[in-house]
Amino acid sequence: MVTALVALAGCSGEDLAESVIERAVESEGNGDVDIDLSDGDFSVETEDGSFQMTTDDDGNVVIRGQDAEGNDVFSADSQDGVTQIETEDGDATITQTGDGEDGEVVVETEDGTATFSQGGDLPEDFPDIPLPDGLNVVMSQQSETPDGTSNVIVATAPGDWESYLDELTSFLESNGYSQQSLTTTPEGAFFQFVDAGETMAIVGSVGADPSVDGMSLNFVIGPN
């Protein structure tokens, strides 16, 4: 410990940060680690491979990862809101537009497309289920895969969560859905419904949210 402190005492601020991070990572059993924070870039070298995050002359972020033999296993290049990612398991394109509540991120892979939105409206073609009046969408996601469309929303709304859950349950059961599970507490409930053909599942939670003087709710709706 004394030797380590003496070694750290002679470091500059940047070198000290590198040394502290290296020792923290090595303490987790990851072998020898070499970290470089120079020139505003970030790189990690271990016995299992390396990772670098740099900025090119145009200010775009470039990320690379290699295995122990120096083979590229991950790369990402960002330009004008579009990030191209290449990995051993496949490639992806991430496109980001807008800011704040108008922000949207689209992830495209060979398996399908996922769209993430912060705030705003429900995803297009969101399933026709009853939702509370005054719904405020905090976050939404829609994914298209060979198995079908999946929708995720996180939202808040005024009103009583127990009354809304009763309304939702009645609607789903009258439309052929069966309740697979239900867990309730004084603060809220977790539930799962499956349609008659067992091809579509609705999983979610609803509960009291004092911060909005109402309720918060979460839904994951997609192929079963």
88 located within any domain: no
Q: What is the pLDDT of residue 14?
A: 40
Cα separation, 161 vs 185, in Å, equals 12
Q: What is the pLDDT of residue 181?
A: 96
149 located within any domain: yes
Q: What is the pLDDT of residue 78?
A: 72
154 located within any domain: yes
Q: What is the pLDDT of residue 3?
A: 38
Between the two ends of the chain, the Cα-to-Cα distance in Å is 55
Kindly tell me the burial class for residue 161, based on how many C-beta atoms sit within 10 Å of its own C-beta (0-12, 13-18, 19 or more): buried
- Integer angstrom CA distances of residue 194 from 151, 153, 177, 200: 15, 18, 5, 6
Cα separation, 67 vs 63, in Å, equals 14
User: Residue 178 sits in which domain range?
Assistant: 119-224
166 located within any domain: yes
188 located within any domain: yes
What parts of the chain have a pLDDT lower than 50? Answer: 1-31, 37
64 located within any domain: no
Q: What is the pLDDT of residue 157?
A: 96
pTM (whole model) above 0.85: no
130 located within any domain: yes
Number of structural domains the chain divides into: 1
Please report the beta strands in 41-199, taking only residues with DSSP state E, as ranges in sequence order. Answer: 42-46, 49-55, 61-67, 72-79, 82-87, 90-97, 104-109, 112-118, 136-145, 148-158, 178-185, 188-194
Q: What is the pLDDT of residue 108?
A: 84
194 located within any domain: yes
Q: What is the pLDDT of residue 102?
A: 66
User: What SS3 state is found at 87?
Assistant: strand
Q: Select from 135, 108, 141 the least CA-distant residue to 123.
A: 141
